[in-house]
């Protein structure tokens, strides 16, 4: 009688070898993550101390808090190198202890211990995109707001920065300019509304200009105080108060669009829709969304690449050179990723191609090397 266990596909089971490989990989990844995180936090601590800390009298504990808000976002961006260095260190260690030689002498295929490592990296990539990334994005957004607040307290109000907001839909667009903003009172001061209308063919024409002493956003409407409006060919009309419909959320009166890096994964689709409805280009947000979707594949590809370069037997030599080649190739794909991002941001290539091309190239190179190493 066939047992239930024997009915499972072999690749769905994790035997002792697979579990042992995963434990060794997890230890090496933890060490690599610790080293990279420590370097990033040290650099951020010094940067914050010289930047914000030089303008504002901040205690060491406050600088440490700002560093803990900023560093996670940078650490997540460098996680592909964590999987490259960590997996490479794990498999090189197994090779130096002749454990890989024993496994392969016993007839164990390299795919049997490389694919579970890649699968674990893929699952961690999913966790990063869905949970760790949004938390880091929220922390980065909080850091940006706190830095702006501290910088604003130093700059004072002698040279206020103008605020520009754009919103609308298919039938109407509004461009809003304010001389300054009152965050405490939730108002924009010295506001001018330029209102445009769209016809059925998508042509936009200027409709009305409204100047107001102040404007506040609440419950889906702008409340203008002491306003003067003028349409084309008509006399100006003064209003004590005037309400204009708005598609913005209340908190977006001051921060219309967050940076793509500060936008959580789950908020990106809605953010892209709002940016497009307002008439802005959403290329940066599209690129960010596609890069996050490609993250699990990048982690898995880096793990396979590192493992493939470390499978050469110690007795054949050149292990150090192969490991160095893996690091160089990993950095090469990093620069390819940066170049593709630049082309995607400039709309030279589509955002989806800019995001998926580097991990696909990494995966193809890793599988090619692994096929060559394992099957000759």
User: φ, ψ for residue 229 (rounded to 5)?
Assistant: -120, 145
Quote the tokens at residue 103. Answer: 């496994």
Helix (H, G, I), strand (E, B) or coil at 126: helix
Helix (H, G, I), strand (E, B) or coil at 280: coil
Q: CA 284 → CA 20, 89, 203, 345, distances in Å?
A: 42, 35, 25, 6
Query: How far apart are the C-alpha atoms of 115 and 13, rounded to whole Å?
Result: 12
Helix H or strand E encompassing 73? helix 60-77
Helix (H, G, I), strand (E, B) or coil at 275: helix
Cβ-in-10-Å burial (0-12, 13-18, 19+) of 366 comes to buried
pTM: 0.72
Summary mean pLDDT of the chain: 80
Beta bridge partners of residue 210, listed in sequence order: 193, 229
pLDDT recorded at residue 31: 94
Domain boundaries, the chain: 10-153+286-375, 170-246
Tell me what the mean pLDDT of segment 152-161 comes to.
46
> What is the pLDDT confidence band of residue 154, given thresholds at 50, 70 and 90?
very low
pLDDT recorded at residue 366: 83
Query: How far apart are the C-alpha atoms of 88 and 205, rounded to whole Å?
Result: 60
Query: How far apart are the C-alpha atoms of 301 and 334, rounded to whole Å?
Result: 12
Task: Give Cβ neighbours of residue 185 (< 8 Å, ≥ 6 apart).
Answer: 216
pLDDT recorded at residue 131: 92
> What is the pLDDT confidence band of residue 9, given thresholds at 50, 70 and 90?
very low
**Length of the chain measured in residues:** 376
3-state helix/strand/coil string of 162-226:
CEEEEEECCCEEEEEEEEEEECCCCEEEEEEEEEEEECCCCCEEEEEEEEEEEEEEECCEEEEEE
Cα 142 from chain centroid?
A: 15
Report which of residues 151 and 254 the model is more confident about. Answer: 151
User: The tokens 């290539």 sit on which residue?
Assistant: 349
Under 8 Å between Cβ of 65 and 27? no
Interval 205-230: pLDDT, tens: 888 899 999 988 887 788 999 999 98
Under 8 Å between Cβ of 253 and 226? no
Predicted confidence (pLDDT) at residue 356 exceeds the cutoff of 70? yes
Assign residue 66 a region (left: φ > 0; alpha: ψ between -120 and 50; beta: otherwise).
Answer: alpha
């Amino acid at each position: 009688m066939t047992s239930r266990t024997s009915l499972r596909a072999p690749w769905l089971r994790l035997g002792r070898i697979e579990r042992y490989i995963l434990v060794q990989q997890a230890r090496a990844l933890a060490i690599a993550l610790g080293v990279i995180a420590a370097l990033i936090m040290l650099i951020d601590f010094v940067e914050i101390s010289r930047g914000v800390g030089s303008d504002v009298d901040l205690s060491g504990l406050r600088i440490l808090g700002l560093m803990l808000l900023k560093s996670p976002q940078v650490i997540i961006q460098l996680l592909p190198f964590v999987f490259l260095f960590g997996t490479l260190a794990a498999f090189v260690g197994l090779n130096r202890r002749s454990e890989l030689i024993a496994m392969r002498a016993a007839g164990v295929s390299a795919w049997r211990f490389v694919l579970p490592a890649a699968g674990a990296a893929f699952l961690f990539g999913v966790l990063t995109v869905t949970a760790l990334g949004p938390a880091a994005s929220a922390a980065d957004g909080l850091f940006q707001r706190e830095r702006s607040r501290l910088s604003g307290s130093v700059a004072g109000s002698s040279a206020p920065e103008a605020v520009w907001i754009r919103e609308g839909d298919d039938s109407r667009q509004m461009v809003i300019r304010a001389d300054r903003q009152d965050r405490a009172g939730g108002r924009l001061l010295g506001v001018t509304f330029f209102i445009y209308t769209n016809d059925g063919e998508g042509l936009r024409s200027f409709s009305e200009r409204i100047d107001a002493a102040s404007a506040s956003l609440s419950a889906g409407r702008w409340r203008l105080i002491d306003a003067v409006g003028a349409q084309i060919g008509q006399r100006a009309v003064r209003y004590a108060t005037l309400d204009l419909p708005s598609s913005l959320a209340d908190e977006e009166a001051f921060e219309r669009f967050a940076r793509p890096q500060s936008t959580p994964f789950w908020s990106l689709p809605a953010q892209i829709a709002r940016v497009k409805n307002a008439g802005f280009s959403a290329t940066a947000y599209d690129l960010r969304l596609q890069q996050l979707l490609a993250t699990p594949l990048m982690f898995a590809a880096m793990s396979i690449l590192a493992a493939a370069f470390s499978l050469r037997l110690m007795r054949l030599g050149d292990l150090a050179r192969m490991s160095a080649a893996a690091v160089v190739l990993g950095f090469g794909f990093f620069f390819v990723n940066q170049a593709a991002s630049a082309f995607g941001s400039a709309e030279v290539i589509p955002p989806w191609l800019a995001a998926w091309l580097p991990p696909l190239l990494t995966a193809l190179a890793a599988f090619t090397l692994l096929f060559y190493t394992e099957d000759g």
